[in-house]
Amino acid sequence: MMAAATNGGKSMWQACLASAFRTALATTIVGSVTLLGPHSLKKLIELPSFSYVTVGIIILNDATFGDSLRGSWYALYATIQSMGPAMLSFWIIGPSRFTKETIAVAVALAAFVVALPGEITHFIAKRIALGQIVLLYVIAYINGARTQPLMHPLGVAASTALGVAACILALLFPSPRLACRQVKKNYKLLTQNTIKRVKLLMKAICEDDKASVFMSVSQANCFSTTKLLQIITHYQKGMRWERPQTKIFRSNCLYAVEKLKEVDITLRGMELALRSINSFPISMINEDMKHGLNSLMQQISLTIKETKHNLHGASLTVPEPSEKNITNFLHSLQTIPTTLQDLPFYFYLFCTKLLYMKSLAEPTPPSIQDQPTEKNGNPNLNSPEGNKENWANSFVTTLTSPKLMASYKCSLSLGLAVYLGLVYSKKDGFWAGLPVAVTYTSGREATFRVTNLKAQGTVLGTVYGVLISFVFERFLVLRFLSLFPWFLFTSFLQRSQMYGPAGGVSAAIGALLILGRENFGPPKEFAITRIVETFIGLSCSIFVDILFRPKRASTCAKVELSNSISTLVESIGSLSILHDSSKTKVEQNQKKLKGHVNKLKKFVVEAEAEPNFWFLPFHGACYNKLLESLSRLDDVLQLGSQALKFLQQEVQRCEACWKEHVNLIEGDIGHLKELICNSMKSFEEISKLKSLGFLEKELEKKKNTTSDVEVGKSTPKSSICMVSGLGEDGLEKTLGSYLQHSRNAVDHLYDDDDDVEDEKELKSQVVLSLSALGFCLSAIMKETMKIEEAIKELVQWENPSSVINLYEISCKLHSLHK
């Protein structure tokens, strides 16, 4: 564990040093050109401050050479997008006729056009375009009749081009920082961590006591692959811009990473099984099984290691194992376990075999059919009766679409910031709009937290710049050298939870705009002006964000929680041995569930960061418990679907033999699904409640408007059931029926006296699959109970003066919706 922590700290230092060096090199290039270059070039680059801002937009986030090439294309696109309309307005209207109001309107309209394409246009292109728009119009207004309609836009374009060129050169010299090299390096770490996790989790099952098992599991968690997967995904975006010959490497790496993601899910299943086993050592593990597990561990490790060497090859196919029957030790499992306590061990063995198969398999690229599509097909769209109504609804929907709302927000905040900035100071008015422009984001963000970090970062950087300017007032070289330790410091800030990327980048740019320029007046005066203008711009951004987004993150988390539970009900409801045609639906439901859980996670993080004001404080601890259960259920469902996939194939192979038994097993699964889904549906309805007081008012209202004397009374117990009502005995009885029917099926369909190795392998696979499915159903029921406890805690938090009984609340909701 200490080694993992040491390696993590060392890699962070290396990453921060590399980022600081490249940033310092890029800014030095810009400073050398703008401060020491020939007069003609210095005259053309009239806005060196925007050259530094361009460097900040492109290079300040662990950029690679591919990222700089991509940034140059986005900068060209942004320049074309912003220059054309600006030059046209200069020629038609004339800069001398501009007023604060017309400039604000022009900036707002231009910003709306830039933001309109939504996610089609990359945010880097949008930030550069918006920054250029602010400078083009505001400086034209400041200079008035002295503005040249052609040379002014060319000056802004040249300033942008200098920043882009500096980024390319800084990432190319002294040695190229290639994205493919970074991916290869991190993929190597990813495979090493995965192999270490495999070895620790496979050795843990043979330990003699539970403390040793938990120690192995804890050590395995130290080699988590989540962060490395995120880093690889980040660098993959720059790979396609570097060299044509990296195409094969890129596709092979993509498939290899997808394979390791599947391996990671299986490892989480093994960890869950280890945590669920009650006592160690396990009596079923003999010397043959220990030897078999060890051989399987070595083979899996070798297979994962081999994929690393095949990244540049034409295929990800790995060598077949030297021992053809590497999983023969599992053939001794010929009977279904009789108790629930044995299921975790069988599930663990199922995961080890699945892990072996996953490490060998080559994942196929995702097809278009795999991606759920939403069509707005309305059969009545062209009918004469509903045509006007449909067009009206369509028009309203279009006006309130998220894409247009983001464009409205960007337009209004930028126009307002420019106007108020000019009101405060005509000479430096663009500093109010520039922070809003270059930090544009189309998605939701924790507005108050991010704005606070941007403001703090700007103040930190500005104060540092003023202090260094005071100490090294006459030494330009020392001023530039002092930027390197600051870039190193801000690199750490970007990776910290306290400041994050928003605060770190703002701090870097804040110091850079003072130390990298000259002839902008006394540093103290400029610092005060820029801090005030930045405050004006960020205040406008907050105001517009609140105006256009009345929903708080906590409200969005509440809605997303009910959506996640609803999708979970669909995913559990689609589990079946009989219906192989539902495979696509199961996969789509699982993807949908993962998407909702990821959204919920994002809203929870945002809600924990937003201020409470007069609202009820957000119960982050409770939502994190729910997130943990939902994430675990997502893993269990994916592994359970693997067991179902084999069982479906086996039932289809001999449908007549299985007919009698599969109906009984399917009946048990259906009973469990109904029980779980009914509980989940109740949780979904309860999670949507505003408050218990609101529910009582609605019930009272219904009593007064209907003659139904049963309104508000308890619904019969047969209509509403909770998993928690079963208790441990009920859980064992319900799953015991499933195990008994599974045991009868195996004993009846497969002959114990058959010594044919293939038949023994088939029977052991059926035993493992049925046992794994039983464990998954048990785990789903246990997680359902945990979700019930968390929902109860959440409702109690929202209604502190009430005594919470989820069953009674569910009955009232049922009677209300009758």
Mean pLDDT of 377-404: 48
Torsion angles phi and psi, residue 280, rounded to 5: -130, 150
- pLDDT band of residue 238 (cuts 50, 70, 90) is confident
Domain 553-702+720-817 has CATH 1.10.3470: no
Mean pLDDT of 266-285: 91
pLDDT of 711 strictly over 70: no
- pLDDT band of residue 718 (cuts 50, 70, 90) is very low
- pLDDT band of residue 244 (cuts 50, 70, 90) is low
Mean pLDDT of 416-445: 86
The pLDDT value given to residue 448: 73
Angle at 812 between CA 683 and CA 730, to 5 degrees: 55
Reading the block at residue 121, the tokens are 């246009």
3-class secondary structure for 283-352? CCCCHHHHHHHHHHHHHHHHHHHHHHHCCCCCCCCCCCCCCCCCCHHHHHCCCCCCCHHHHHHHHHHHHH
For the ranges 240-249, 292-301, 394-403, 431-440, the lowest mean pLDDT is seen at: 394-403
pLDDT of 97 strictly over 90: no
> What is the pTM for the complete model shown?
0.83
The pLDDT value given to residue 370: 41
The pLDDT value given to residue 208: 87
Top-confidence residue, 321 or 627:
627
Whole-Å CA distances, 137 to 104, 107, 168, 420, 546: 9, 7, 28, 15, 27
What is the rounded distance in angstroms from the CA atom of residue 537 to the CA atom of residue 543? 10
The pLDDT value given to residue 383: 39
The pLDDT value given to residue 9: 56
Top-confidence residue, 459 or 807:
459
What is the rounded distance in angstroms from the CA atom of residue 746 to the CA atom of residue 763? 7
- pLDDT band of residue 219 (cuts 50, 70, 90) is very high
Length of the chain: 818
The pLDDT value given to residue 395: 42
Mean pLDDT of 82-106: 88
Mean pLDDT of 750-758: 64
In the chain, the amino acid numbered 781 is: M
In the chain, the amino acid numbered 322 is: S
The pLDDT value given to residue 807: 79
Distance spanning both ends of the chain, measured CA to CA:
57
Residues of the chain with CATH 1.20.58: 553-702+720-817
For the ranges 8-12, 91-95, 239-243, 450-454, the lowest mean pLDDT is seen at: 8-12
Instruction: Give whichever of 1-10, 669-678, 706-715 has the largest mean pLDDT.
Output: 669-678
Report which of 709, 718, 687, 629 is spatially closest to residue 813, judged by C-alpha positions. Answer: 687
Q: What is the pLDDT of residues 659-676, one digit of tens each?
A: 788 888 989 899 889 889
pLDDT of 384 strictly over 50: no
The pLDDT value given to residue 449: 76
The pLDDT value given to residue 55: 92
pLDDT of 513 strictly over 90: no
3-state secondary structure of 155: helix
pLDDT of 142 strictly over 50: yes
The pLDDT value given to residue 112: 93
Report which of 199, 183, 198, 102 is spatially closest to residue 141, judged by C-alpha positions. Answer: 102
The pLDDT value given to residue 536: 92
The pLDDT value given to residue 80: 92
Mean pLDDT of 166-177: 91
The pLDDT value given to residue 391: 43
CB 113 within 8 A of CB 410: no
Q: Which residues of 698-708 are buried (b: 16+ CB within 10 A; e: fewer)?
A: bbeebeeeeee
Mean pLDDT of 92-113: 90
- pLDDT band of residue 315 (cuts 50, 70, 90) is very low
Q: What is the pLDDT of residues 558-602, one digit of tens each?
A: 999 999 999 999 999 888 887 654 556 777 888 899 999 999 998
The pLDDT value given to residue 373: 38
The pLDDT value given to residue 818: 65
Instruction: Give whichever of 317-321, 368-372, 419-423, 512-516 has the largest mean pLDDT.
Output: 419-423
Kindly report the average pLDDT of the chain as a whole number: 82
The pLDDT value given to residue 762: 86
In the chain, the amino acid numbered 317 is: T
pLDDT of 92 strictly over 60: yes
The pLDDT value given to residue 755: 57
Percent of the chain with pLDDT over 70: 85
Whole-Å CA distances, 603 to 59, 499, 558: 28, 19, 9
Q: What is the pLDDT of residues 353-367, one digit of tens each?
A: 999 888 776 544 444
- pLDDT band of residue 379 (cuts 50, 70, 90) is very low
The pLDDT value given to residue 90: 87
Mean pLDDT of 6-19: 72
